[in-house]
Structure 1
């Protein structure tokens, strides 16, 4: 029987990023495709029946697919230079939990599936949890088809190249109806569990969060011949906007706002940019506060841009309101894991999208570093294997 640690060790060389450190596994990249093949192989070894649906979600079934099934799983894609556990921990734990249930002699009274959702991080096409959004209809299919990656490829083109029919992308009520309950195990992405005490927590809620693109347009010109007084430099405006984002968020208790990506056009060393795109991530437990936060940032950005002779546009790329997991299912998880603490999280997950449509819950596994979306993300081997056992306990109770 495989342990979570041995399963993760078997993919430890897939998608290593020599430049950033950690792992870079964008959806439908060679690395992510290799991981999808790995999962299909592992599921096959366990006698699970594997299918890939029209949105690219992989389902591995123990028992015939039918409405009301118990589903667990996570994702395999990563942010650029991400850690080894964000996503794959949940998938490996689900496989190990299936092994554990069989070793206990559990005979499921309803079907169980392990699911792998594509583009959870949104690192390639800019929309987080794209697979679960498509499944539920939380994103318009035409919008999804027209999303573009950094190389200009549309999601429709990439989907077609990977065996999907772009015309069939979108809400899938039949597949959604097969989910009776969804449980996602994930590495904790903060220090809520601490270094002592239980290594497994039950999730209670997810902070409301969204992504917006701020595009600052100015006048492209020659860096050597354009006098400082004659410039309309969007990079100068962008720098001030980034500082304003920090200032606005720091003034609002409980708010988080981040500019983690900036892209100048055309991007030459000796060129004054004509446009600079900034991507803003903003979060708060109160959705109204998040909206005001973004509105305030936009207002300050407009003034900064105008002062520099530039213009600015704000485009919402994705938004998920604060999610509270199904209270009845949460109680069942707590009953199955006596003494497990209950944690809220500031990170988005497929479980958060699915929670609006089916009873959903989460388990978090201790991360002693408290760091995530970084090579320093970590889970101790004993905690990883204990997490799979806890997942098996939960699944057994629900089965």
Structure 2
């Protein structure tokens, strides 16, 4: 080891505060294998080396830093460094800097884990570039077929296969690696809370209980592209109209299904000219909750009716799906007990820990977000809570690796 950094998760967050700032949207735009995300990967590698950790990249592009030789009983923590477009500073990076800081805290406490300890950075957790959330963990665990992932395209038309190749990885090796997953004995992910639970409870840290079922769908409306000035209003097949009606229908349908959250946050018209009637319009639906399949069916029905009325067509395709996740109760209770009985909270946000939970015991720690806002520049956590979260993570890792 070349030197022991001062244990401070808030200080590490400050070190990367200028990477990937989005001057147009506000907040941060850091997407897998883009300039900002690659810079953060280099930063992580440097921090791992400073701590004398052994750095490794798996076949799916996830980064791992090991304290001790990895084996089947390893205790692993970490999160992701990518963001949604214009996202906050804490979603993802907080879990990574807290993991690195937890290593520093354990060393400052004189603790040497009896089991291997790993820190991981998962790729493309948000799906901000290629549209599928938790892409790195889904590929590694085999819950997403490699051939499907490699065909994914970003908004510029670059395939995931090309992006992987450009990052120095071999597309032929992308895919499930059960031996690598088998190294993980238990996994704990720390994350900024994406909601108001800890505000209302008045505490800095909680454990995760469940993740609600969630998925993403694309609806493609097709009509007739034409001249905006030369085409009479009664002689149009404009796909923007049924797309707009569907956006309103999503809100109405979801509001009538208790516990459901449904959102249209992205819409793309082709060719996208101000004076052009679109030929196609793509609309992305994010739906979460206990009755998502029926909500999606109702949305599709409303979209087809609106498309038919305008002389257009519509096609629906599923891009990702995750069932409800209940985190390992024994691990959840053990983590809570180690922290003095902190509360357990459900979440509507997806995480790599939820993907891993189908394969290994997994748990979540949440750190208070006083704004209650996430996936936006207003996302926040006080330095004192950030550092309290890192201390809590160190305590948990110490107990699990004893």
With normalisation by structure 1, the TM-score equals: 0.98
Whether 1:368 aligns to 2:370 is yes
Note the C-alpha offset of 1:299: 0.7
Matched residue, 1:180:
185
Tell me if structure 2 keeps the 8 A contact 1:54–1:164: yes
- Cα distance in 1 for residues equivalent to 2:238 and 2:266: 18
Give the match's secondary structure for 2:12: helix
Note the C-alpha offset of 1:195: 5.8
Matched residue, 2:301:
299
Whether 1:47 aligns to 2:49 is no
1:45-64 CA distances to partner (integer Å, 9 max, x unpaired)?
Answer: 00100011110010000000
Which of 326, 350, 355 is 1:348 aligned to? 350
Which of 202, 206, 215 is 2:207 aligned to? 202
Note the C-alpha offset of 1:196: 5.8
Note the C-alpha offset of 1:67: 1.3
1:324-373 CA distances to partner (integer Å, 9 max, x unpaired)?
Answer: 00111111111111131110000000001001111000000000000000
Matched residue, 2:284:
279
Note the C-alpha offset of 1:2: 3.5
The within-5 A match list for 1:61-100 is 61-100=66-105
Tell me if structure 1 keeps the 8 A contact 2:7–2:105: no
Whether 1:377 aligns to 2:379 is yes
1:114-138 CA distances to partner (integer Å, 9 max, x unpaired)?
Answer: 0000000001001000000000000
Tell me if structure 2 keeps the 8 A contact 1:73–1:183: yes
Tell me if structure 2 keeps the 8 A contact 1:198–1:339: no
Q: CA RMSD in A?
A: 0.7
Structure 1 window deviating more from structure 2 (360-369 vs 186-195): it is: 186-195
Tell me if structure 2 keeps the 8 A contact 1:244–1:300: yes
Note the C-alpha offset of 1:164: 0.6
- Cα distance in 2 for residues equivalent to 1:196 and 1:253: 24
Matched residue, 1:125:
130
Give the match's secondary structure for 2:64: strand
1:130-181 CA distances to partner (integer Å, 9 max, x unpaired)?
Answer: 0000000000110011111111111111101101100000000111000000
1:182-231 CA distances to partner (integer Å, 9 max, x unpaired)?
Answer: 00000001111116622100000101000000000011000001000111
Note the C-alpha offset of 1:68: 1.8
The within-5 A match list for 1:21-170 is 21-170=26-175
- Cα distance in 1 for residues equivalent to 2:385 and 2:126: 24
The within-5 A match list for 1:380-391 is 380-391=382-393
Which of 240, 246, 253 is 2:245 aligned to? 240
Runs (4 or more) in structure 1 with deviation over 6 Å come to none
- Cα distance in 1 for residues equivalent to 2:334 and 2:187: 13
Tell me if structure 2 keeps the 8 A contact 1:26–1:79: yes
- Cα distance in 2 for residues equivalent to 1:290 and 1:333: 31
Aligned length: 396
Whether 1:9 aligns to 2:11 is no
Whether 1:397 aligns to 2:402 is no
Structure 1: gaps of 5 or more residues: none
